[in-house]
């Protein structure tokens, strides 16, 4: 089984066996901004289960003392504290990793632009706090639309003189999780043994799964129709959940799971055990200044950004189609950031 497939079962057992003061344990503080929301609460629980976390700071505009009290009863080593509006500095101080699911979720009929108009200001304000109180922390952005909010975060950090492209990452892991799941289901494979690269961005057609590179190593033949259907479902996975929840939520549980997987890899990297993941980062892989592709995570964050490798004609067409949309979304974020100076 892959580390992902074993993740939830093994993590809690390991965490219960360790304490924050155990010899040889690297102390790591993780702060979650937006911890009282739909993603944030589940993510808080998953990070409490992670044996690499010794201190867990939960921040939101309200409700976090209750979330912290609830999560703190889980018998794992991480020490948990909840912080509400006005206490952002204390929540961030000393953080090694900051995970940001803050903002409003997508609702039926809401476009990514609608989301942007609300979430851009939230992201900017929180990133300003990070620049002041945790400038060396790795920052994982979940707040949508990621295609635009990551550039806002980058420009805010640049303006405040603390930008390090190695430490800013948009979390696109849910796209990978979905592609693996859908591919395994379709072909009757063990999902824990499946690997599917997903590159591009984190919305609609900017999400490009590379099924031509899908594992396991023994290639499983896909028809053109299957590739088209799998690609479309991966791209529209968020909408699928929003519609299924009938206006009562978005993809919070699967997003929390994916974010916890990615955070775990970041922490392993920081601790000197490099990992590879897919993430939306400052990039020269394509003409887009930010792009999701395979990255190597190490002691300073992103150590290396990999090229796309050999891709199919279908995927080349998808790449050509997504770039204008992705670049336009990036420009929206950059324009917003410039107006805030």
Instruction: Write out the catalytic residue numbers.
Output: 202
Strand-pair category, 290-298 with 301-305: antiparallel
Q: 186: part of which helix (H) or strand (E)? A: helix 173-187
What is the rounded distance in angstroms from the CA atom of residue 225 to the CA atom of residue 11?
A: 38
**DSSP at 104:** P
Helix 173-187 crosses helix 253-270 at what angle (to 10 degrees)? 110
What is the rounded distance in angstroms from the CA atom of residue 32 to the CA atom of residue 317?
A: 38
**Structure tokens belonging to residue 337:** 């950031």
List the beta strands (DSSP E) in the chain.
29-33, 55-59, 79-83, 97-100, 138-141, 168-171, 198-200, 207-209, 275-282, 290-298, 301-305
- Please say whether the beta carbons of 15 and 39 come within 8 A: no
Angle at 271 between CA 266 and CA 274, to 5 degrees: 60
- Please say whether the beta carbons of 83 and 57 come within 8 A: yes
């Amino acid at each position: 089984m892959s580390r992902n497939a074993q993740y939830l079962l093994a993590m809690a057992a390991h965490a219960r066996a360790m304490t924050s003061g155990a010899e040889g344990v690297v102390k790591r503080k993780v702060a979650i901004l937006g911890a009282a929301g739909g993603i944030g609460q589940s993510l808080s629980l998953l990070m409490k289960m992670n044996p690499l976390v010794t201190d867990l700071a939960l921040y939101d505009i309200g409700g976090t003392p209750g979330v912290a009290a609830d999560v703190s009863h889980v018998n794992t080593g991480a020490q948990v504290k909840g912080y509400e509006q006005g206490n952002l500095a204390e929540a961030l101080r000393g953080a090694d990793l900051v995970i940001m699911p803050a903002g409003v979720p997508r609702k039926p009929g809401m476009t990514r632009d609608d989301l942007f108009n609300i979430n851009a200001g939230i992201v900017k304000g929180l990133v300003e706090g990070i620049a002041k109180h945790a400038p060396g922390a790795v920052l994982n952005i979940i707040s949508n639309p990621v295609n635009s909010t990551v550039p806002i975060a980058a420009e805010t950090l640049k303006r405040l003189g603390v930008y390090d492209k190695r430490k800013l990452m948009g979390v696109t892991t849910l796209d990978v999780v979905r592609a693996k799941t859908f591919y395994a289901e379709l072909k009757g494979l063990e999902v824990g043994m499946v690997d599917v690269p997903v590159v591009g961005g984190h919305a609609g057609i900017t999400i490009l799964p590379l099924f031509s590179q899908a594992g396991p190593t023994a290639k499983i033949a896909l028809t053109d129709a299957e590739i088209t259907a799998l690609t479309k479902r991966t791209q529209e996975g968020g909408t699928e959940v929003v519609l299924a929840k009938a206006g009562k939520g978005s993809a919070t549980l699967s997003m929390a799971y994916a974010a916890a997987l990615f955070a775990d890899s970041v922490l392993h990297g920081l601790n000197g055990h490099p990992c590879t993941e897919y993430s939306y980062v400052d990039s020269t892989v394509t003409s887009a200044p930010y792009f999701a592709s395979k990255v190597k995570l190490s002691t300073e964050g992103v150590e290396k950004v990999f090229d796309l490798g050999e891709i199919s004609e279908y995927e080349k067409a998808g790449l050509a189609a997504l770039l204008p949309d992705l670049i336009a979304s990036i420009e929206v974020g950059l324009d917003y950031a410039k107006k805030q100076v």
